[in-house]
Amino acid sequence: MPVVEVKIWEGMPKEDKAKIIKGITEVLTDLGIPAEAVTIIIHDIPKHNWGSKGKPHSELFA
């Protein structure tokens, strides 16, 4: 069933990641998808590997 991938800057506390997982699962179960069928993958991306406006986020959000 659904696999949801979330990309965030590295450094988010594991408790906050657990809240993201719980919240996404709740939204999908509200749509009738069994929680057992939901998979969520969180990717921690270093700011220097993520860019926008022509610059790495390590510069934009120092």
Q: Residue 24: which CATH number?
A: 3.30.429.10
Q: Is 90 exceeded by the pLDDT of residue 28? A: yes
Instruction: Give the span between the Cα atoms of 25 and 36, in whole angstroms.
Output: 9
pLDDT reported for residue 53:
96
State the residue range of the domain holding 32. 3-60
User: For the CA atoms of the chain, what is the radius of gyration?
Assistant: 15
Q: What's residue 52's pLDDT? A: 96
How many structural domains are present in the chain? Answer: 1
- pLDDT tens column, 7-23: 999 999 999 999 999 99
3-class SS at 17? helix
